[in-house]
Amino acid sequence: MTSPDQIANAFVQHYYGVFDSNRANLASLYRPESMMTFEGDKKQGTTAIMEKINSLPFGKVQHKIDTFDVQPSAGNGVLMFVTGQLITEGEVHPQRFSQVFNLQPIPGTNGFFVLNDLFRLIYG
């Protein structure tokens, strides 16, 4: 049995690795019931979420994780809370961010999908 911490660690490595190399490939992590709130803009479903992710104005980007907390949650879910820094191409100063993911099991499989995704830049 894989622990919530193991699931969360594998997910976060995968998510930011894909985001920072070819973010169009994040689509497989979402499902029709998935929700993303990015800087207050709410999207639901893989298509709408990926349109938003693909439309973000920055080109090459790098996420650096500063803190990472995990708790098991309702429905055998895994709740994650990340704080870190976003380094975008051509920008000297990293931008602080916080992000929340809630993974839920995909019925009939050993896999998980992102039910909840909430992202905010932190202006200091």
> Interface with a copy of itself by CB under 8 A: which range of 21-29, 46-54, 55-63, 68-76?
68-76
DSSP calls for 68-99:
EEEEEEGGGEEEEEEEEEEEETT-SS-EEEEE
DSSP-derived letter for residue 29 is: G
Contact between 103 and 11 under an 8 Å Cβ cutoff? The reply is yes
**Contact between 52 and a copy of itself (CB under 8 A)?**
no
**Contact between 62 and a copy of itself (CB under 8 A)?**
no
**Contact between 100 and a copy of itself (CB under 8 A)?**
yes
Order the strands of the 41-44 sheet from edge to edge.
41-44, 35-38, 112-122, 95-105, 77-88, 61-73
| 18, 48, 96, 113: which one binds a copy of itself (CB under 8 A) | 96
**Contact between 46 and a copy of itself (CB under 8 A)?**
no
Residues of the shown chain interacting with a copy of itself in the complex, contacts defined by CB under 8 A: 35, 37, 40, 42, 67, 69, 71-75, 77, 79, 81, 83, 96, 98, 100, 102, 104, 115-116, 118, 120, 122, 124
